[in-house]
């Protein structure tokens, strides 16, 4: 792997995506590609094949990958718009902003749904889901976010999926911020649709999302998409017919992603990528505890993707000023997105290494001193390595 990226002239992005990319991924975009040219179509075919390999799935078993122009939100909405039949009803498990975004999509699409909300620091209750599905046989689909980056919480998709399958429901997983770094067992979780994005753990650049599903499961929705450009079934037919996107593809993002996938495999795939992110997380938790910052989540549900920290109670602390001073030093963090607590967030993914985390923590320490913010060191709590 390339050494720590602190030497980059760009600011380092400690976010859940877009994120810091390697120099070679950036360089891959210094070329033009004809969207109908056979060579480009071959690259798209290779990308689709590799994504199935990341998921440990096989085309022979009916699985397919459908790339779609646009961010991960486009991919999730396209899946809802295409795969939910007119008589379908979706149960959404929401414990953060991205579960709530699913609800907004269903509202805009006019799809019948019910929402089971959990606190932002708690995983969804599978027993509550069991009772809901037993009481309402009209529910046909269950949807949840795997890693909810509002907080960094990792939801138990295996348990949720088993519950959904006991009631013959289709299971939909938004794995935007987990796919590629946290193991996901499709059969064990009973996943029918998984949506992710190029610019997350696979460390490409923004420009497209992708849906992993069985062809049969996609077409079972009735083939009546609620949108022209977000019609995943028609997008799949286009790939099957001539290997092409229906409409202009993000050519440069796809070239970057091809390189990102090669680097992903060179690092050791899901296990290798996840191990580096875990080391980043351990360094972050320890360093921030030394400075006196308290994580929002308990370790038992905290992923290694992104961590929400409570803002200091010291009146000298102003997040806007704190953020700008860090950015001038070359470190970009994320504001909080919680409804119940004042927090900010720091991500560990992308082309970041332990040395980058150490440098960030040092910059935070210097910035706090400049602002006159006083914190007392906390006892460091060992992170819990979890999968879900």
Omega before residue 18 within 30° of 0, cis: yes
- Confidence at 387, pLDDT banded by 50, 70, 90: low
CB 104: neighbour CB atoms within 10 A? 11
> In the beta sheet, which residues pair with residue 12?
331
3-state SS class at 140: coil
The predicted model gives 125-132 an average pLDDT of 96
5-19+269-371 has CATH 3.20.20.10 classification? no
Would you state the pLDDT for residue 385?
Answer: 77
CATH code of the domain occupying 23-265: 3.40.640.10
- Kindly list the domain boundaries of the chain, sorted by start residue: 5-19+269-371, 23-265
Please write the tens of the pLDDT for every residue from 212-270. Answer: 999 998 987 656 799 999 999 999 999 999 999 999 999 999 999 999 999 999 999 99
Q: Which residues pair with 171 in a beta bridge?
A: 142
Q: Is residue 210 left, alpha or beta, with left meaning phi > 0 and alpha meaning psi from -120 to 50?
A: beta
Task: Enter the pTM of the model.
Answer: 0.94
| Residues 6+ away with beta carbon under 8 Å from 254 | 33, 40, 43, 44, 47, 67, 207, 208
Say if residues 142 and 172 touch (Cβ distance below 8 Å).
yes
- Residues 180, 170: Cα–Cα separation, whole Å: 23
pLDDT tens, residue by residue, 83-105: 999 999 999 999 999 999 999 99
């Amino acid at each position: 792997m390339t050494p720590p990226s602190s030497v980059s002239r760009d600011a380092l992005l400690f976010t859940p995506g877009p994120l810091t990319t390697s120099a070679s991924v950036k360089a891959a975009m210094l070329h033009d590609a004809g969207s109908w040219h056979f060579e480009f179509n071959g690259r798209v075919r290779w990308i689709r094949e590799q994504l199935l390999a990341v998921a440990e799935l096989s085309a022979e078993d009916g699985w397919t990958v459908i790339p779609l122009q646009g961010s991960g939100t486009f991919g999730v909405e396209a899946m809802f718009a295409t795969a939910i039949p007119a008589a379908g009803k979706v149960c959404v498990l929401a414990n953060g902003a991205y579960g709530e975004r699913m609800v907004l999509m269903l509202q805009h699409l006019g799809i019948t749904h019910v929402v089971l909300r959990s606190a932002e620091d708690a995983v969804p209750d599978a027993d509550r889901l069991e009772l809901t599905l037993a009481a309402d046989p009209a529910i046909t689909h269950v949807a949840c976010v795997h890693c909810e980056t509002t907080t960094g919480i990792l939801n138990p998709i295996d348990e949720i999926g088993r519950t959904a399958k006991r009631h013959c429901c289709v299971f939909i997983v938004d794995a935007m911020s987990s796919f590629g770094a946290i193991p996901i067992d499709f059969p064990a979780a009973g996943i029918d649709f998984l949506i992710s994005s190029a610019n997350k753990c696979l460390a490409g650049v923004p420009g497209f999302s992708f849906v992993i599903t069985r062809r049969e499961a996609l077409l079972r929705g009735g083939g009546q998409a609620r949108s022209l450009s977000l019609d995943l079934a028609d997008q799949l037919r286009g790939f099957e017919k001539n290997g092409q996107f229906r409409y202009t593809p993000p050519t440069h993002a796809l070239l970057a992603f091809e390189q990102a996938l090669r680097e992903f495999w060179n690092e050791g795939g899901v296990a290798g990528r996840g191990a580096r992110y875990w080391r980043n997380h351990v360094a972050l938790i320890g360093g921030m505890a030394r400075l006196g910052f308290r994580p929002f989540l308990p370790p038992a549900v905290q992923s290694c993707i992104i961590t929400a920290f409570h803002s200091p109670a010291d009146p000298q602390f102003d997040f806007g000023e704190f953020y700008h001073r860090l950015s001038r030093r070359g470190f970009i963090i994320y504001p909080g997105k919680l409804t119940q607590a004042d927090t900010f967030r720091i991500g560990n993914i992308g082309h970041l290494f332990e040395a980058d985390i150490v440098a960030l923590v040092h910059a935070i320490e210097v910035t706090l001193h400049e602002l006159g913010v006083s914190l007392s060191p906390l006892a460091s709590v060992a992170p819990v390595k979890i999968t879900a």
